[in-house]
A and B are shown apart, each in its own frame.
Chain A
Amino acid sequence: KNQVEQSPQSLIILEGKNCTLQCNYTVSPFSNLRWYKQDTGRGPVSLTIMTFSENTKSNGRYTATLDADTKQSSLHITASQLSDSASYICVVSVGDGGFKTIFGAGTRLFVKA
C-alpha cells in the first residue's frame, strides 16, 4: 500500500533555532517527492521537489534531502522565524505514468519568540 508517514506530528522550537522534519514513504514506483508548507487557513505551497537522482535541494533556509534507497526524506529549517510556524507536508508522486500523489499527514511546527 502506498503510504507517506511524517514525524514528529508536532514540534515547538524557539525562534532562531534549527529543526529537522522527517518523512518515510512506501510509494512504488517512485517518481518524485515534494515538501509543501501550509499556513493556517491557506492551501499548501510547494517548497522543493526532488526526483530519484537528487539527494538534496535547497530553497532559502529550507533544505530537503532524499535517500531513495531507504525511502526517507527530511526537511531542515535553519535559523527559524516566527513565520515558519505552519504545517509541512511531504508528498510523493507515483511513477506509474499517472498523476496520483500521496500526501503525508504533515508536521505542525510552532516557532515561539
Chain B
Amino acid sequence: GAGVSQSPSNKVTEKGKDVELRCDPISGHTALYWYRQSLGQGLEFLIYFQGNSAPDKSGLPSDRFSAERTGGSVSTLTIQRTQQEDSAVYLCASSPAAGRYNEQFFGPGTRLTVL
C-alpha cells in the first residue's frame, strides 16, 4: 500500500513568513511523529500524536511551532514567523500503534529553506 507522504517536498520562504507542512500517514496507523533533521545532525523529536490522546509536544523548540492532526489521520506542522535556524528537513513518521517495538515508517521529508 501507499507509504507516508509529505508535502511540499521543498519549501523556500522568507524570514518572518508562516509555513505549513503536511503529512499523510499510512492508513490505519494510529501513531504519528514529527522530527527535524538539520544538515549533518541526527533526527530531533518535535511532537507525537497517538489516537485521541493529547499530543506530546515536549520536543517543539518554541511557541512558533505547532501541529495538529485532524480526524486521526492527516497532520499539519505550522511554523510561524520563520527564522533562518528553522531551515532543515522535516520528517514525518507513522506506526501501527504506540510502543517502542513498533517500527516507525518515515515519509520522504519536506526540505525547508528560510532565506
Contact = CB atoms under 8 A, between A and B. Distances in A.
A100 B58 CA distance: 11
A99 B55 CA distance: 12
Given A32-B101, A93-B100, A99-B99, A41 B45 contact: no
A89 B48 contact: no
Given A100-B45, A103-B43, A105-B40, A43 B4 contact: yes
Contact of A45 (B42, B99, B101, B106): B106
A50 to B, nearest CB: 11
A101 interface: yes
A100 B56 CA distance: 10
Chain A interface residue number, banded: 20 to 34
A18 interface: no
Given A42-B108, A89-B42, A105-B41, A99 B91 contact: no
Contacts, number: 55
B98 interface: yes
B100 A106 contact: no
26 contacts: A4-B42, A32-B101, A41-B109, A42-B109, A43-B91, A43-B93, A43-B105, A43-B106, A43-B108, A44-B91, A44-B106, A45-B106, A49-B101, A89-B43, A93-B100, A93-B101, A94-B100, A99-B31, A99-B99, A99-B100, A100-B45, A101-B104, A103-B35, A103-B42, A104-B42, A106-B42
Interface of B: 4, 31, 35, 40-45, 48, 50, 56, 91, 93, 98-101, 103-109
